[in-house]
Chain A
Amino acid sequence: MKFYICIKMVPDVYAPLQIKEGELIMDADRMVLNAYDASAVEEALVLKEKHGGEVEVVCIGPAKASETIRKALAMGADKATHILATGDEEYDSASYAKILSAFFKDKEYDVIGLGKQSQDTDSGLTGSMVAEHLSLPYTTNAVGLEVENGNLVVKRQGDSGQEMIELPTPCAVTCSNDMNDPRIPNLKGIMASKRKPIDQVEISSLGIDETELQADTKVTSYEEKPARQAGKKYEGEAEEVAREVAQLLDTEANVL
């Protein structure tokens, strides 16, 4: 099977951040491979190991995103396409979905894999947008993938239970990090990644009208969350504090 996995470089949510006059200030160097995309890469690698095929990653991002791409190659992806952005564009999920769809339009593949959401924005829109643009069968929030008789069988986490869905190929699927633990690249993988091809593509070469990429949504400012005051810590003899807090939940917090 030929897999294309869409990977995104995102800010590390653990990096310290600050908000000044509505602007978000954080270390632009602390970027990582989106955790959900890492799970998508991992699953594609496992399926390739079982059934054969090829795993190619695609990333839209500035020059620095080549580090993110290397990481996926070091995990074991065969090759990569880097669709170059400057990083100053104010793209939203819809813009990225249009670029990805334009890229995939004349490609051959069995499965387009994406993350179920970007871990910094939690939007979760790009996957089903790409599927709709390309008229592909798709499913989202996959927690397990199998290949059976050339079809993709997806276990997805629904609202109350899990659904087993069979998709004919070509298809698209968005992946949860509940699917697996992505492998950590070893030294051999890292060395090998340096010899793997990264194809660089300009957005302008994809035949999309640039005005169409203008985002409909715009982040106008950032703000702190209304802070939750840390309450009181009760330490001491287990039996005593347990009873004391239970009492307080009744008399003080009124939640029993």
Chain B
Amino acid sequence: MKILVAVKRVLDANVRVRVKTDQSNVDLSGARMSMNPFDEIALEEAVRLKEKGVASEVLVVSCGTTACQETLRTALALGADRALLIETQADLQPLAVAKLLKAVADREQPALMLLGKQAIDDDHHQVGQMLAALLGRGQATCASKLEIEAGCAIVTREIDEGTETLSLSLPTVVTADLRLNEPRYATLPNLMKAKKKPLVVFTPADLDVDVTPRLKTLQVAEPPKRQTGIKVAHVAELIEKLREAKVLA
């Protein structure tokens, strides 16, 4: 069984976000970039399935600029077998990414497609569901548990009211939530070995996919600032202040 994992290169979760002064976008110049944390989890799950002998091959795919090669090398060091970069300078939006991944899936015929539930830069939370729709396959988002049994994926997913468990016939699309697993770290020897693993580059045109944006970003601004608060010395003062502000009666 072949598994396709989609990984996005994003601003590292620990980096402070700065908005450009012209409000055109977030300023990423010189900032530390990482693999989207949910994609690390998706990849870890795929690698574990391979280690258990359930999967035979893990293919990682990233869509974006040449710099995504670095993210793909990390994925190879973490246990992926092959990498594919779909290289473009375009402002890629979720529908375009889903179409690119569908084109790859059509060629590669993976039985399972693992993605993160959301990319922590644009917070869209869309690509997995869109990919499943384009393929006409089932979807299980926000997975906290995944098992492969008799041609089906048994997935426990997190919903607002608790959890639910689904059975999906393969091929299918699963998106990873934080509790699915604890991803491993890439070791230096594995990073060295990853340099020898295959990494192929395509363009959207090679896959015959139109990635023209459907959404136009007019402005990116800082959120409204909260007024600076005060420190209170003890519980009695806290209650007094909350009463003064009519928060407590």
A is bound by B: no
